[in-house]
Every structure is written in structure tokens, then in C-alpha cells.
Amino acid sequence: QVQLVESGGGLVQAGGSLRLSCAASGGTFSSYTMGWFRQAPGKERVFVGAISGSDSRTYYADSVKGRFTISRDNAKRTVYLQMNSLKPEDTAVYSCAAQGDRGWYYIARFYDYWGQGTQVTVSS
């Protein structure tokens, strides 16, 4: 069983930055693909980005490419989401998730474990 806990959310002005963290306990963290998803009020949860467990390859949604960066520290069992040049449309609850490198990293149902989420609000 894997437990995931996100932190780092908050309120920021447009153009600002935030770094989210997702700390994992249980399981073999280094082997998991870690994904970030977000859900805005009244909208479906969507893929933000992911980092593979095998080679730390990263993948991003087009909407965040060039602004967001995912990284991982396997020794700390933590994955990070660095968010720069934030826009009001980035406002959402951000959740991290883990899967055992099954692929389809951009599809939520292929993830086995989820954190509770952290709120990010970007004011204009």
C-alpha cells in the first residue's frame, strides 16, 4: 500500500510560481511512475504531467509545457511539480498519483494510488 501526501499549494498572483511536493510512503517508490493531475471546479480531472520510474522521463500536457517541471528525489521518496508563469486558468486542486510503470501515464484510471490533493489558486 502506498500513501501519497501533497503539499505546497496556496494562493499566488498570475505570473508567480509555486512548487508542489508529493511525499510517498510504502511501496517501492523508485519503480513508480508518478503523475500529477488537476481538477478545476465543475470540470473533469485532467493530466498535468508525469515522470517515469524507470528512467525519470517526463511528460507534460500541452497546456503546461514550458511552464511546469516535474522532478523526483527517490532518496526522499518525493516528487515535485515546479509551476512557473502561473495563469488564472491553472487554478485547481492538484493531485499526485502513482502507478507501477504500466504506461498510459496520461490516463487517471491507470494509476493505483492517489493523494488527497492540494489547492492552487492563481489570482489575476
pLDDT at 33: 96
Q: Is the pLDDT of residue 103 over 90?
A: no
- Determine how many CB atoms are found less than 10 A away from the CB of residue 78: 18
Bridge partner residues of 34 (DSSP): 51, 98
> What is the rounded average pLDDT of the residues 11-30?
96
pLDDT at 54: 79
pLDDT band at 101 (very low <50, low <70, confident <90, very high): confident
pLDDT at 74: 95
The number of C-alpha atoms within 13 Å of 44 and in the hemisphere containing its C-beta is: 5
pLDDT band at 16 (very low <50, low <70, confident <90, very high): very high
Q: How far apart are CA 52 and CA 44, in angstroms?
A: 24
Q: Is the pLDDT of residue 5 over 90?
A: yes
For every residue of 25-80, DSSP letters joined together read: ESS-GGGSEEEEEEE-TTS--EEEEEE-TTT--EEE-TTTTTTEEEEEETTTTEEE
Q: Is the pLDDT of residue 76 over 90?
A: yes
Q: Is the pLDDT of residue 122 over 80?
A: yes
**Contact call for residues 59 and 110 (beta carbons, < 8 A):** no
State the cell numbers at 10. 496556496
pLDDT, tens digit (0-9, with 9 covering 90-100), for 27-53? 999 999 999 999 999 999 999 999 998
> What is the rounded average pLDDT of the residues 62-66?
98
